[in-house]
Structure 1
Amino acid sequence: MAAKGFAKFIIVLTTVSAAVMELIDTSIVNVALSDMAGSLGVSIEDVSWVITAYAIANVIIIPLTGFLAEYFGRKRYYLVSMIVFTLASYMCAESGSLMEIIIWRFVQGIGGGALLSTSQAILFDAFEPKDRPIAAGLFGMGLVLGPTLGPTLGGYLIEHFSWPMIFMINLPIGIIATILTYTYIEKKPNEGKNRKNIHIDYNGILLLAAGIGCLQYVLERGETDDWFSSETIRICAIVAAVTLVLFVWYELRIKNPAVNLRVLGDRNLAFTTIFTFVTGLGLFTSVFVYPVLAQRVLGYTAYETGLALLAPTMIGVLMMPIIGKSMAKGVPAVRFVVVGLVLFAAYCWLTARVSPEVGISAFFFPLALRAFGISMVQLPLINQAVAGLQPKDYPAGIALNNMIRQLGGAFGIALANTYISHRYAQHRSDLVANITDGAALVTQRTTAIAQGIISKTGADINTATHTAHAMISSAVDRQAYYLSYLDTFRLIALFFIIVLPLAVFLKTKKKSAEEEAAARAAVAESH
């Protein structure tokens, strides 16, 4: 049976908090890399493995959560994962070397993978089928808030404390969520008792770990390692391609696969994963590109940038329950998806037109459009992922959908990094072509800057002229990066526009009263 009253409130609080905590950790480290590198005595390139390790572990474990929950029992698996995540967070904060923190971040990612998919499954089970859109709305609040809150919270903690605090912040939330899970979340009948009858698909697990792990490595490290000029990247790309093809072939052949890919035979879920991939690309890439634009070009701190991003996002978060109630009353999901895609594309297009002299407040309206767009797309997709499935297939559908979202984000950030790099080189080349020695405007500008330096510092003419040239070069760099970021926003908008026509395939057949009754009975039996 669905949960009632206070128990339902606790389940909502626990599952959404756990999901938010996991998603925050996908982005909170980004603003702390410089501080961590200095503290650990390594380069920023080396310490970026802290992000890569978490992402690889996360994306490997997410598609396995359905199988692991069935094998160990959902409550036990959820509880242990929460404890692992919390303890690993503490060990990350206490790490004194790069290798130590990378290992603990990997462990944290393994624990965190269950906090997303299993949280969603537990939350859905707490609601009757007719009220699941409301549950999707509540869970969607966490999906939107988590990645956005990460840079804001991280910026504040770095500014007022030190980098270990970005991990220590998980401890009180994790402890409280663990206690609430143990006390209020009930086991299903016979949960974990049929373990002897469950076949462990070791081959599938190994193929998945190798394929997804190598793919995530390529996406995370490709730009840093200059893509296929790196032998490691080439090897990982080949391993990922071969093992993922073998994984799909093998999982579709065996009776009890670790990941039930057969659920993708449901047309609704298959097309939902396409939209989820693009939405993940847009959500994570916009959270990545906008802060870099605000800090590198506009000169704002990480905390100021995060606050500017957080305020309009909260509007979209508050919209989630409203959209959920509308869907529960029968408003078709496809309408929200179409409007959401258009709004997100509009956000990207408006942001791609901003001037480098604008204040941070000028981003409020575009970011509000982003928040509304993400809310209207995310929520229906969460609900649509399981709309055509039997209750027994919910864990597999949810896990696959969440994995696709994470891969979309990884692909988007990798694409943005590469695209920005290429566009920056092109724009800088174009700008430098217009700056030639001896040109009247260049000479006039250089002389004016040099005279200003001499009057302020008393430097000699050679030093002042050299400094003036460096300042002009820095201005060219800033303009080139500014133009490349705007190009990237246009590229993201293009993805949303291209996928828009596929929304027609998200229509689902309305269930009859008899089918609704059968679905409720199936849900009751699954508890």
Structure 2
Amino acid sequence: MPKYLEKPPNWADDERPVIPGSPPALDHARFKRYAYFIIGTFIALTASLSNGFITANLPQLQGEYGLTPSESAWLPAVYVMANVSANLILFKTRQQYGLRLFTEVSLLGFIVVMLLHLLVQDGRMALIIRCISGFVAAPLSSLGMYYIMQSFGKANRLKGLYVGFGFNQLGIPLAWVISPFLVNANHWVNLYTFELGLAICCFAMVVSLKLPRGLKIDVIEKKDFMTFLLLAPGFACLCAVLSQGPILWWFDSVWLAYVLIAGFSLIVLGFFFEYHRSNPLILIHWLGTASILRFVIGAFFLRFLLSEQSFTAVNFLKTMGIGPDQFVGLYSVIFIGILLGTLFSAATFSKDHLFWPLLLATFLILVACRLDAHLTSDVRPHNFFYSQFLIAFANGLFIGPLLLTGMMRTLKQGTNYVITFIILFSATQNFGSLVGSSFYNTYQKHQAQVYQLDIEQTLNRTDPNIYQRIHQYSALYQPYLTDSTLDQAKASQLLSQVMARESQVRAYNDVVNINSIIAVLLFLWTLIHIILQKYSKQYR
């Protein structure tokens, strides 16, 4: 039995929080429900916009701070490092000190981070601030979800969960849409000031309309910090390797191997320490059960597949010379896709058919991959509208059912399993995205090198078509160059650039095709699981 730090309110059975640290399920007046929804949406967007602004403006930040590509890759990496580790201690902190205090302190920390952004003068300071930002942004995601859930009645409370988690994903496409207007106006001052204003507005809203008082229980132990000190740097090491490996190349940087060994060693030590605790933070024995392993595989590979959107479409278009302001239309479509997917998921909510949205999401990803399977150097952002809308719709569609599927299994075991599930869910989503981006980045670079070498070896300069192409390129320089030798050298250089570009195009097509294969396998795996589950119920 939990040790209560204050007397619980006199709730009805259907009002009592499912787990300590979450608000009760109360019915509110209509006006108050609208206010909760607006505040929750505002908080969810603010939390995800912080990371979205860095992702959308990474090349500009690289130039602003004078960073190399590998150095600039640390900016999003350290955010994920802190974000994935935050749930190790934040959930118990919320249970012990109460939801209201936790909410206000978290937002104050977020405001302080935004103020520090205005003082950033170099890359090192920016890294430190991004790390802190990843940590303080973690509680805002659940805070936005709790506010949105309060806007739904008791009967539809789980639909609020769907909407809350879906809205948490809207910040990144929204950041791509509004960043060109903010950054072009006054460099980075406007961008950081805008973020600071959002954080202050969130704090004012939360203070004005507080969440209902929840339970306070005594759960924090000294050994929890030991677990954090082992697992947090372990997760950070894995994030570092995944972000730097494709850039520095896996076999060219020895230090990556040592960091990887250190990361796995710390995680194993942390799990070993937890396994022998009398009251563990993470229930290690439960992680090895068949149902949890199936959940991990499904959750990881769904996020893995969705990473194709953030990698292939954006990087392919950048390779073709598309600038940030030309992405506004594409990310507006992605924003609408996530929004509609989230609303569709909530509208079709059914406890008895949680796997069908997951199956539909996988199918939509597969269709989108086939639409993108024939990329050429003439492709522009509008050519991606249909495929990226489908992927965005799948992104908004799957997250709620996936979370609820795992949570229902968890609560059958007991509320003390919830922390383990939250950490597990966060890890599958963060590492699924990181591993997906890292894998596709590595695969694309490898294939581009293979294709470029193949083109160079098979290119015959005496071929009439090749000769004519070089002659055309040479004609471009003739009005400006009088030396025919230099003219030919420039034409050959331009031909090499075209060869490199076309090898990149073919490599990105390979990325789309391998994503299609993984989508087919996951679709069949999910379909077989649904069929087996249906027949097992019939013959019980």
TM-score, normalization by structure 2: 0.85
Once structures 1 and 2 are overlaid, which stretch shifts more, 277-286 or 333-342?
A: 277-286
SS at match of 2:462: coil
Distance in 2, Cα, partners of 1:164 & 1:259: 42
Distance in 2, Cα, partners of 1:321 & 1:331: 19
Question: 1:423-458: CA deviations, max 9, x gaps?
Answer: 110111112122234333322211221123213x35
Question: 1:10-32: CA deviations, max 9, x gaps?
Answer: 33333343333333333432342
- 2:353 maps to 1:332: yes
Residue 84 of structure 2 corresponds to which residue in structure 1?
A: 59
Of 332, 336, 349, the residue aligned with 1:314 is: 336
Q: CA deviation at 1:82?
A: 2.3
Question: 1:304-335: CA deviations, max 9, x gaps?
Answer: 2242132254034124223212214x561211
Distance 1:486 1:150, change over 3 A: farther
- 2:210 maps to 1:185: yes
Q: Could you tell me whether the CA contact under 8 Å between 2:52 and 2:175 is conserved in 1?
A: yes
Q: Could you tell me whether the CA contact under 8 Å between 1:268 and 1:508 is conserved in 2?
A: no
Q: Could you tell me whether the CA contact under 8 Å between 2:141 and 2:168 is conserved in 1?
A: no
Residue 434 of structure 1 corresponds to which residue in structure 2?
A: 458
Distance 1:176 1:67, change over 3 A: same
Distance 1:469 1:164, change over 3 A: farther
Residue 476 of structure 2 corresponds to which residue in structure 1?
A: 452
Q: CA deviation at 1:204?
A: 1.0
- 2:374 maps to 1:353: yes
Distance 1:490 1:502, change over 3 A: same
Q: Could you tell me whether the CA contact under 8 Å between 2:340 and 2:393 is conserved in 1?
A: no
SS at match of 1:357: coil
Q: CA deviation at 1:81?
A: 2.1
Of 230, 238, 243, the residue aligned with 2:266 is: 243
Q: CA deviation at 1:237?
A: 0.6
Residue 425 of structure 1 corresponds to which residue in structure 2?
A: 449
Q: CA deviation at 1:63?
A: 4.0
Amino acid at match of 1:408: G
Q: Could you tell me whether the CA contact under 8 Å between 2:113 and 2:132 is conserved in 1?
A: yes
Of 37, 46, 67, the residue aligned with 2:62 is: 37
How do 1:170-319 and structure 2 match up within 5 A? 170-186=195-211, 188-191=213-216, 194=218, 198-260=221-283, 264=287, 270-297=293-320, 299-319=321-341
Residue 512 of structure 1 corresponds to which residue in structure 2?
A: none
SS at match of 1:327: coil
Once structures 1 and 2 are overlaid, which stretch shifts more, 44-53 or 407-416?
A: 44-53
Distance 1:337 1:171, change over 3 A: same
Q: Could you tell me whether the CA contact under 8 Å between 1:54 and 1:105 is conserved in 2?
A: yes
SS at match of 1:388: helix
Once structures 1 and 2 are overlaid, which stretch shifts more, 336-345 or 353-362?
A: 353-362
- 2:393 maps to 1:372: yes
Amino acid at match of 2:268: V
Amino acid at match of 1:326: T
Q: CA deviation at 1:77?
A: 2.5
Q: CA deviation at 1:283?
A: 2.8
Distance in 1, Cα, partners of 2:436 & 2:192: 25
RMSD: 2.8
How do 1:480-495 and structure 2 match up within 5 A? 480-495=503-518
TM-score, normalization by structure 1: 0.87
Of 498, 503, 521, the residue aligned with 2:521 is: 498
Distance in 1, Cα, partners of 2:62 & 2:382: 32
Amino acid at match of 1:364: F
Q: CA deviation at 1:459?
A: 4.3
Stretches of structure 1 lacking an aligned partner (at least 5 in a row): 510-527
Of 154, 166, 178, the residue aligned with 1:141 is: 166
- 2:426 maps to 1:405: no
Q: Could you tell me whether the CA contact under 8 Å between 2:300 and 2:432 is conserved in 1?
A: yes
Distance in 1, Cα, partners of 2:337 & 2:101: 36
Amino acid at match of 2:49: I
Q: CA deviation at 1:419?
A: 0.9
Stretches of structure 2 lacking an aligned partner (at least 5 in a row): 1-14, 16-24, 535-540
Once structures 1 and 2 are overlaid, which stretch shifts more, 500-509 or 276-285?
A: 500-509
Q: CA deviation at 1:373?
A: 2.3
Distance 1:41 1:355, change over 3 A: closer
Q: CA deviation at 1:401?
A: 1.2
Q: Could you tell me whether the CA contact under 8 Å between 1:64 and 1:259 is conserved in 2?
A: no
Q: Could you tell me whether the CA contact under 8 Å between 2:166 and 2:399 is conserved in 1?
A: no
Residue 475 of structure 1 corresponds to which residue in structure 2?
A: 498
Distance in 2, Cα, partners of 1:9 & 1:394: 29
Q: CA deviation at 1:405?
A: 0.5
Q: CA deviation at 1:347?
A: 0.6
- 2:130 maps to 1:109: no
Distance 1:170 1:336, change over 3 A: same
Distance in 2, Cα, partners of 1:118 & 1:263: 27
SS at match of 2:247: coil
Q: Could you tell me whether the CA contact under 8 Å between 1:388 and 1:508 is conserved in 2?
A: no
Q: How many residues align?
A: 504
Distance 1:37 1:374, change over 3 A: closer
Residue 402 of structure 2 corresponds to which residue in structure 1?
A: 381
Residue 157 of structure 1 corresponds to which residue in structure 2?
A: 182
The percent identity for this pair of structures is 17
Q: Could you tell me whether the CA contact under 8 Å between 2:461 and 2:467 is conserved in 1?
A: yes
Once structures 1 and 2 are overlaid, which stretch shifts more, 477-486 or 56-65?
A: 56-65
Amino acid at match of 2:237: C
Distance 1:161 1:462, change over 3 A: farther
Amino acid at match of 1:194: D
